Structure 1
Amino acid sequence: MSKQFTGRTAFITGGGTGIGRAAALALAAEGCTVTIAGRTSRTLETTVRDIEAAGGSARYAICDVADEDAVAAAVKTAVGDSGRLDFAINSAGVDGEGPELTTDYPMDKFDRMMATNVRGVFLSMKHEVLQMQKQGFGAIVNIASGAGLIGVPGYAAYSASKWAEIGMTKSAALEYARHGIRINAVCPGLVDTPLWAQSAAADKENADRLIAAHPIGRIAKPEEIADAIVWLCSERSSYLVGTALPLDGGYTAQ
């Protein structure tokens, strides 16, 4: 079977775990040379080994997405000798934890959320677009959330960060569509990731309530989100620009 992305390159922040890892595996399976970035070498190394064991090509870069110099260096690593960056997936982020009322939310946690989810996506897009402008093409997919489309009681800070991410996605998409660069976002509901497992173990009652709020009756697998990411990178979605695509089992349709 032919691979649709043979010879292409992809850069994925937060590529060591969760949605980022699933996206890295999926894009590599389609022939991409994948560069994953994150703060933890252990998880990045595991993802690279798994891609290589499946016959793919991958490397990693240590990167805190809130650090502009680190982001610029990681993107340069992704470009490598090929001189191109075809796809970028901005998946690095911190979750909502909680639930906590707005008046109880610690400012240090708020600042950390904004540094990763907002500043991190902004800096990643900035340096990805700088490269893609040189070549006149590219596709960027930001991993937002259903919490960026509606209000979620107890998660005001997380929701604010994801609304900001979607706003950046739409604005940048309008700026660079005529340069051959497509920018979109996916907005998952709950996804079975290590972050979710940790949160669910800490508060099973809240976890059960959140799962029950999804009309489909379950949470997503990371691979289901990765399938949509692959589609958004492909020519099959060539007319999709500035979209925030809900992938939430009906959560935001209620």
Structure 2
Amino acid sequence: MVATQLKRFTEKVAFVTGAGSGIGRATALAFAREGASLVLADISEESNNATAKEIEEIGARAIAVRCDVADGEDVKSALAKGMESFGRLDIAFNNAGIEHQVKKLNETSEEEWDRVIRVNLRSVYICMKYQIDLMLRNGTGGAIVNTSSTAGFMAIQGQGAYCASKFGVTAISKVAALEHAKSNIRVNALCPGITDTAMMSRITGDTPHGIARVVAQEPIGRMGRPEEIAAAVLFLCSDDSLFTTGHAMVVDGGQSTGI
């Protein structure tokens, strides 16, 4: 049986941030194909609505909510709209994030540092804070996956703010996993390697030279596909991984294997 025939998430409700593009969109669509109802959160209304439309074409249910994931009131409102529409929260994929220009730490402005930490790390704290409250209230537990990165456990020159934010995501995922394990709330971090997304296009400049430069870091010889990262998220949120919590799962084509 192929994965697209499975229905592991029938009657489950999943909240996905950064759902308008890349890994977020691929994961939302994968959840929908396996029976989940979706609450889609993204700061871009146009792309978020496009994801919702694709989900509805699959025959699943979705609501799209404009949300600044680092703003507590926005997150609470998005979650409340999800509860109004579906009555529960079973799964959260906190995926929204940004990159920054390659530069040394002492050359990084305070404004750049604050922006990256706000979007990449504060947002995961804010989202988990209110998602866990809902899962505790429901009393049935749940699964949370937070997008970290290979930069969440290895240092990369010129990526000080990004590394700091992603190390932080890995850390608070593990802390939350310990704090709520007995409440049947599983929390894991996902650490993707180089993945073919709009963010990676900005990093490479979408030029043959830029693409070749990053692909050269991958032993597998290519970038990952968003759908491959989505498959790992679904595993971590499914009953196939009920004994997995506090884990930082690396999906990177071997990029970090030699470290």
TM-score range, shorter chain: over 0.9
* Pairwise CA distance, 1:209: 2.3
Count of residues in Structure 1 that have an aligned counterpart in Structure 2: 253
| Alignment counterpart, residue 63 of structure 1, candidates 58, 61, 67 | 67
* Structure 1 residue aligned with 2:39: 35
The yes-or-no answer on 1:110 pairing with 2:113 is: yes
Q: Distance in 2 between matches of 1:109 and 1:204?
A: 28
| CA RMSD across the alignment | 1.4
* Structure 2 residue aligned with 1:26: 30
Q: Is the 8 A contact 1:9 1:79 kept in 2?
A: no
Q: Is the 8 A contact 2:217 2:255 kept in 1?
A: yes
Q: Distance in 1 between matches of 2:206 and 2:229?
A: 25
Q: Comparing 193-202 with 70-79, which one deviates more in the overlay?
A: 193-202
Q: Is the 8 A contact 1:10 1:78 kept in 2?
A: no
SS in 2 for 1:186: strand
* Pairwise CA distance, 1:206: 4.7
Gaps of 5+ in 1: none
* Structure 1 residue aligned with 2:255: 251
Change in Cα spacing, 1:41 to 1:30, as seen in structure 2 (3 Å) is same
Paired letter, 2:98: V
| Alignment counterpart, residue 148 of structure 1, candidates 145, 152, 156 | 152
SS in 2 for 1:10: strand
Normalising by structure 2, we get a TM-score of: 0.94
Gaps of 5+ in 2: none
* Structure 1 residue aligned with 2:220: 216
Q: Distance in 2 between matches of 1:83 and 1:176?
A: 22
Map 1:87-126 → 2, pairs under 5 A: 87-95=91-99, 97-126=100-129
* Pairwise CA distance, 1:109: 1.2
* Pairwise CA distance, 1:112: 0.5
SS in 2 for 1:150: coil
* Pairwise CA distance, 1:204: 5.7
* Pairwise CA distance, 1:80: 2.5
Q: Distance in 1 between matches of 2:196 and 2:6?
A: 30
Question: Which whole-Å deviations, capped at 9, do the CAs of 1:128-185 have from their partners, x for residues lacking one?
Answer: 0000011221000001100011111111110110000000000001000100100001
| Alignment counterpart, residue 8 of structure 2, candidates 4, 7, 19 | 4
Q: Is the 8 A contact 1:28 1:51 kept in 2?
A: yes
* Pairwise CA distance, 1:208: 2.6
Map 1:66-215 → 2, pairs under 5 A: 66-95=70-99, 97-136=100-139, 137-201=141-205, 205-215=209-219
Q: Distance in 1 between matches of 2:14 and 2:84?
A: 11
The percent identity for this pair of structures is 39
* Pairwise CA distance, 1:199: 2.3
Paired letter, 1:36: L
| Alignment counterpart, residue 49 of structure 1, candidates 34, 49, 53 | 53
Q: Is the 8 A contact 2:148 2:191 kept in 1?
A: yes
SS in 2 for 1:253: coil
Q: Distance in 2 between matches of 1:183 and 1:211?
A: 30
Q: Is the 8 A contact 2:204 2:214 kept in 1?
A: no
SS in 1 for 2:168: helix
Q: Distance in 1 between matches of 2:223 and 2:86?
A: 38
* Pairwise CA distance, 1:215: 1.0
